[in-house]
Amino acid sequence: MTDPATVGDARFSELQARLAAVRERIARATAAAGRGTDLPRLIVVTKFHPADDIRRLAALGVTDVGENRDQEAAAKAQDLADAGLTWHFVGQLQTKKAKSVVRYASAVHSVDRPQLVDALAKAVLNEQAASGRGNLDCFIQVSLEDDAGAHRGGAAPADVPGLAERIAEAGGLRLAGVMAVAPLGAAPEPAFEKLARISQRLVADHPSATAMSAGMSQDLEAAVTFGATHLRIGSDILGSRPAVR
Ligand SMILES: *Cc1c(COP(=O)(O)O)cnc(C)c1O
């Protein structure tokens, strides 16, 4: 249910306009890439913004939201349990948080090491026994940095096949595909081209793992060009994030 106090206020109108502008950019990029009406799925990354903004977004037709910290995400998901939203976890994840994340998340976009696969599988199976939830969609986060020391999280490309195998063999997990964040301070196109090649190799071994989660506010057009199926957009829809919380 939507809280009527949030619908039609000034912030609602602001979010409506910003969301429309982003949807327009996605549609243009999709057409320019020759993808016809194959629109990527829009995940609005709502980290640092209040649950009321997520209510406004839900009233504007947003179905998928992304968060990167378990404590914040768990509280919002509980607050918005009635909103029918799909929750995506997109941040670096400690194994000890797996149990909490699988209570609300449909997908984890940041699977980057074997221990996390094992922790998520165990947590999902327990949660399935308790609540009957569905399988957890897992995206393997790949590091696209040339310099491993500077990386923003993610597995090395060479580790993707092993992680994929481990996810595919685990109960309760569904291998969705790959995810990446473009390197800071470099053109995103070569990075997303590299991710597309990694995705193709993954699909050769796992034909249903076709998802490619790539593209943020600054680089969504480049991501769409190289085949992104899921876009994770925060600031261009919600505005800049508060520096302190
Ligand atoms: C915050 C975040 C986003 C959204 O970034 P914007 O630049 O605000 O669009 C996307 N992906 C991840 C992993 C994030 O942490």
Element housing 213 (H / E): strand 211-213
Total residue length of the chain: 245
Instruction: State the distance from the centre of ligand 1 to the C-alpha of 220, rounded, in angstroms.
Output: 11
pLDDT for the residue numbered 245 = 45
Question: Which residues lie below 8 Å from residue 31, measured CB to CB, with a gap of 6+?
Answer: none
pLDDT band at 104 (very low <50, low <70, confident <90, very high): very high
User: Which atom of ligand 1 is nearest to 236's Cα?
Assistant: 9
pLDDT for the residue numbered 6 = 80
In whole angstroms, what is the distance from residue 173 CA to residue 25 CA? Answer: 33
Q: What is this structure's pTM?
A: 0.96
Q: What is the pLDDT of residues 204-224, one digit of tens each?
A: 999 999 999 999 999 999 999
pLDDT band at 5 (very low <50, low <70, confident <90, very high): confident
Provide the residue ranges of all domains of the chain, joining segments of one domain with +. Answer: 4-237
Q: What is the pLDDT of residues 143-173, one digit of tens each?
A: 998 765 555 689 999 999 999 999 999 999 9
Which of 47, 53, 68 has most ligand 1 atoms within 8 Å of CB, for mutation?
68
pLDDT for the residue numbered 8 = 85
Residue nearest (by alpha carbon) to ligand 1 atom 13: 90
Q: What is the pLDDT of residues 176-195, one digit of tens each?
A: 999 999 998 899 999 999 99
pLDDT reading at 199 higher than 50: yes
Instruction: State the distance from the centre of ligand 1 to the C-alpha of 73, rounded, in angstroms.
Output: 14
pLDDT for the residue numbered 241 = 79
How much is the mean pLDDT over the chain? 95
Instruction: State the distance from the centre of ligand 1 to the C-alpha of 81, rounded, in angstroms.
Output: 23
Question: Which residues sit with their C-beta closer than 6 Å to ligand 1?
Answer: 45, 47, 68, 90-91, 181, 216-218, 232-236
Residue nearest (by alpha carbon) to ligand 1 atom 10: 232
In the chain, pLDDT over 90 holds for what percent of residues? 89
Residue nearest (by alpha carbon) to ligand 1 atom 11: 232
The arithmetic mean of pLDDT across residues 61-80, rounded, is 98
The arithmetic mean of pLDDT across residues 94-120, rounded, is 98
pLDDT reading at 86 higher than 80: yes
Q: Look at strands 64-67 and 86-89 and give their pairing.
A: parallel
Instruction: State the distance from the centre of ligand 1 to the C-alpha of 63, rounded, in angstroms.
Output: 17
Instruction: State the distance from the centre of ligand 1 to the C-alpha of 82, rounded, in angstroms.
Output: 25
Residue nearest (by alpha carbon) to ligand 1 atom 4: 234
Instruction: State the distance from the centre of ligand 1 to the C-alpha of 78, rounded, in angstroms.
Output: 22
**HSE value, Cβ hemisphere, 13 Å, CA-based, for 29:** 21
pLDDT for the residue numbered 128 = 98
- Class for the domain spanning 4-237: alpha beta
Instruction: State the distance from the centre of ligand 1 to the C-alpha of 130, rounded, in angstroms.
Output: 32
